Chains A and B, each alone.
Chain A
Amino acid sequence: MSNHIVESLKKEIEGFNLAIKAEKVGKVIEVFDGIAKVSGLSDIKSSEMVTFSNGETGVALNLEEDTVGVIILGDFSKIKEGDEVKATGKILEIPVGDTIVGRVVNPLGAPIDGKGAISAKGGSASGGKASLSYYPIERVAPGVITRQSVSEPVATGIKVIDAIIPIGRGQRELIIGDRQTGKTAIAIDTILNQKSQNMICVYVSIGQKDSKLRKIEARLEAGGAMAYTVIVSAGASEPAPLSYIAPYAGVAIAEYFMEQGKDVLIIYDDLSKHAVAYREISLLLRRPPGREAFPGDVFYLHSRLLERACRRNKKYGGGSITALPIIETQAGDISAYIPTNVISITDGQIFLETDLFYKGIRPAVNVGFSVSRVGGNAQIKAMKKVAGTLKLDLAQYRELEAFAQFGSDLDESTKKQLERGKRAVEVLKQLQYSPVKTEHQIVTLHALTKGYMDDVPVEKIKAFEKGLVDYSERNAKTFYKEIKESKMWTDKGEAEIKKVIEDFKKSFQ
C-alpha cells in the first residue's frame, strides 16, 4: 500500500513541470475592512484576480494612477503592509461541475457543508481524468440572437402565483416586501415544487444569518430538494466583498448547467443586502456616494446580474435561467432607490404586504401591485382559462369591499360578487411547504370561477377544496389526463369535471 503511494507520488512529481515566467507583482500599502491598497501591478485589468502571499484571493476594482484598490475575498486580518501581491491575469472564476449539486458552497466555490471536497464526476483522489470546469463570475449576458421568448411555465406550486402572476422559464420575477412577510418562504416553496420538473435550483444567500441558512438547508434536505439544488452562501459574519460576489458566483453555476441545455432557477436572497455590501465596498474604495449613499453604478450592479437570466434558443443549446431576486423594503416603501431599480430591471414583481400577512392571508401577495409582464405567455391554456375570470373576481371584490363596510343595502349582484371574492381569497390561501400540483389548482379554480363554491360557507372552503381534489383525482381521470397531455380540457373533460364537482357537492356537508 505504502509502496503504491510512493510510486504514484513519484509519478505525479515527474509529471510536474514548472514553467518559468515573469509575474506581475505589487506590494500592499494599506489594508482595512476587506480592502487593500496595492502599489505596482501596473498592467492589471479591472476585475482581475490577484493572490496575496498568504494564499487569499482578491479582485482589483479600483485602478488608480499609482495604486490599485483590491477587495479581499476571505480573511484579511492576516494580510499586512508590505506583503507581496501577484496578478494572475485571469478574471475571478469558480470551479463548477455536476457534483456541485446538493452542496453548500461559499462564493469562491469552496464547500462549507462539511461533506468534503467537491471533485469532478469520474475524477478520483489520485487524479482522474475528469476535472472541474472554471467559470468566470463576471460575464457578458447572452445577446439577443441567442435568446428565445419565454413560453414554458415554472410551476411554483403556489396557487396565487401560478394563476395570477405566472412565471415563465427564463423570466426575472422580483419578490418584494417588508421583513417577515414570507419572501423566502415563496422562494423555498418554489424550489420544493421543482421535484421532477427537470429544473436545477441555485439558492444564493447574501448576508443572511447562518441559523436561517441552516434551517433552509434542512428544510430542502427534508423535502428531497437538495438533490437538484446548490446553495451559495455569503453569511452575515463574512466580509462585504464575499457578499458582493455571491450572486455572480451563483449565476456562474447556473450558466454551467444552462450550457448543458438544462433549465435553472436561481434565487437571490436578497439583493438589498447585496446593494448594501457593494455600497460598503464602494465607500471604502472612496468612490463618490450618490442617492442613499449608494455609488453611481448600483443600477448596473443589478442590471448586469439579472440580464444573465435568459432563455436560449435551440440553435444556441437551449436551456434557461429563471431568476427570482428578493428585495426587502422598509415600511412598505417600494419607491426607495434599490426597489425601484430592481422593479424596472425585472419582468414583474410579487408584492407581499404585512397587513395581508397579519390578516391571515398567506402568502400575503397583494394581487393589485403584483404583475408578471411575460409570464402570461408561459401559462398553460387550462390555467389561463380558469385564471382569467379569477383576476376579475378579485379586482371587483377589492373595489366593492370598501363599500360593503358601510351597510347591508347592497343589490343582489354586488352581494354575489362580494361572496365570490371572499371565497377566492380563501381558496388562494395556502400553508407554507405545501405546494399544489397544477392540475389540482385548475380543478379548484375551475370550481371557484364557475360558481360551484358560492353556496359553500367561507369557513368550509378549505375542507371543500381538499375534499374536491381527492374526489376528483379518483373520479375525473379523463379531465386530468387531458390536462397532463394537451394542457387543456375538451368538452368531454369539461362534462366529466362538472359531474364530478356536482356529485362531490352533494356529498359535502
Chain B
Amino acid sequence: MTTISNNNNIAQAIYLGSKDKKGHELNLYAKEAVKFLNKKRLLSKAENILIKLKEIVDKEEKIVPATVASANKLSPHAKHDLMRILAKRYNAKEVELSEILDERLLGGLKVEVGGELIDLTLRNRINKLKEYLIEKA
C-alpha cells in the first residue's frame, strides 16, 4: 500500500488532475478532491496543501508573488517600474505585488520574493553603517 507522504505530493497530484479541466468539470473535480482528502483524513492539512498548490500553480504559470515594504505609499509609476524589473529578474509573466507600509523603514523600499530579500531601505543602510563603524573600532 502506498502512503501519502507529504503536502507537496498531494498538492502536486491535485494540480496534475485539474490541469486540463474547466468550468463545471473543474468544480466536480474540486468536490472529488475534497472528498478524497476527507476520506484520507487529510482535511486538517488543507491549509498547507492549498499553500503548496498555490506555489505549484504560480511556478507553472510563471506568476511571481512579491511583497514590497516601504515607508511611504509607492506612486503608480514606481510600482509599474518595480513590477517590470522584478518580472525581468525572475523571468515571470506576471508579478503579484502586495504592499506593506512601515514607517520604521524611514525611506526606500525592500522587496521580498520567494525567500530572497533585496533591502534598499534607509533603516538597513543606517544599521549597516552602524555595524561597519563598530567593526572598524
Q: Which residues of A contact B (CB under 8 A)?
A: 9, 12-13, 16, 18, 20-26, 40-42, 65, 84, 86, 125-127
Contacts and interface: CB of A to CB of B under 8 A. Distances in A.
Given A12-B133, A25-B112, A25-B115, 11 more contacts: A16-B133, A18-B125, A18-B128, A18-B129, A24-B117, A25-B117, A26-B115, A42-B114, A86-B117, A126-B137, A127-B136
Interface of B: 6, 8, 112, 114-120, 125, 128-129, 132-133, 136-137
B117 A65 contact: no
Nearest to B89: A22
B115 A65 contact: no
Contact of A25 (B116, B120, B125, B137): B116
Given A12-B136, A125-B137, A23 B8 contact: no
- Pairs A-B, 7 closest by C-beta atoms: A40-B115, A127-B136, A25-B117, A23-B117, A22-B116, A22-B118, A16-B132
Contacts of A16: 128-129, 132-133
B128 A24 contact: no
Given A12-B133, A13-B129, A18-B125, A23 B6 contact: no
A86 B120 CA distance: 15
A24 B116 contact: yes
A23 B137 contact: no
Contacts of B129: 13, 16, 18
Main secondary structure of the interface of B (DSSP, over half): mixed
Contacts of A20: 118, 120
Contact of A41 (B6, B115, B118, B137): B115
Contacts of A25: 112, 115-117
A16 B124 CA distance: 13
Contacts of B118: 20-23
A127 B117 contact: no
B68 to A, nearest CB: 14
B31 to A, nearest CB: 28
B123 to A, nearest CB: 12
A209 B105 CA distance: 43
A451 B112 CA distance: 83
B93 to A, nearest CB: 21
Contacts of B136: 12, 126-127
Contacts of A21: 118
A266 to B, nearest CB: 28
Given A12-B133, A18-B125, A125-B137, A23 B116 contact: yes
29 contacts: A9-B133, A12-B132, A12-B133, A13-B129, A16-B128, A16-B129, A16-B132, A16-B133, A20-B118, A20-B120, A22-B117, A23-B116, A23-B117, A23-B118, A23-B119, A24-B115, A24-B116, A25-B115, A25-B116, A26-B115, A40-B115, A41-B115, A42-B115, A65-B6, A65-B8, A84-B117, A86-B117, A125-B137, A127-B137
A22 B115 CA distance: 10
B115 to A, nearest CB: 4
A21 B118 CA distance: 6
Contacts of B116: 22-25
Contacts of B128: 16, 18
A88 to B, nearest CB: 13
Contacts of A18: 125, 128-129
Contacts of B125: 18
A32 to B, nearest CB: 21
A21 B124 CA distance: 12
A454 to B, nearest CB: 68
B25 to A, nearest CB: 31
A126 B118 CA distance: 31
A12 B125 CA distance: 14
A65 B118 CA distance: 24
Nearest to B116: A22
B41 to A, nearest CB: 21
Nearest to A87: B115
Nearest to A39: B115
Nearest to A9: B133
A49 B81 CA distance: 34
A131 to B, nearest CB: 9
Nearest to B117: A25
A347 B117 CA distance: 49
Most buried by A among B115, B119, B132: B115
Nearest to A42: B115
A84 B6 CA distance: 26
Contacts of B117: 22-25, 84, 86
Nearest to A44: B115
A398 B56 CA distance: 75
A248 B112 CA distance: 35
A25 B8 CA distance: 21
Nearest to A19: B128
A23 B86 CA distance: 15
B103 to A, nearest CB: 17
A27 to B, nearest CB: 9
Nearest to A27: B115
Contacts of A41: 115
Contacts of B8: 65
* B6, B116, B136: residue with the most chain A Cβ atoms closer than 10 Å: B136
Contacts of A22: 116-118
B8 to A, nearest CB: 7
Nearest to A125: B137
A324 to B, nearest CB: 35
Contacts of A42: 114-115
Nearest to A43: B115
Contacts of B132: 12, 16
A213 B97 CA distance: 55
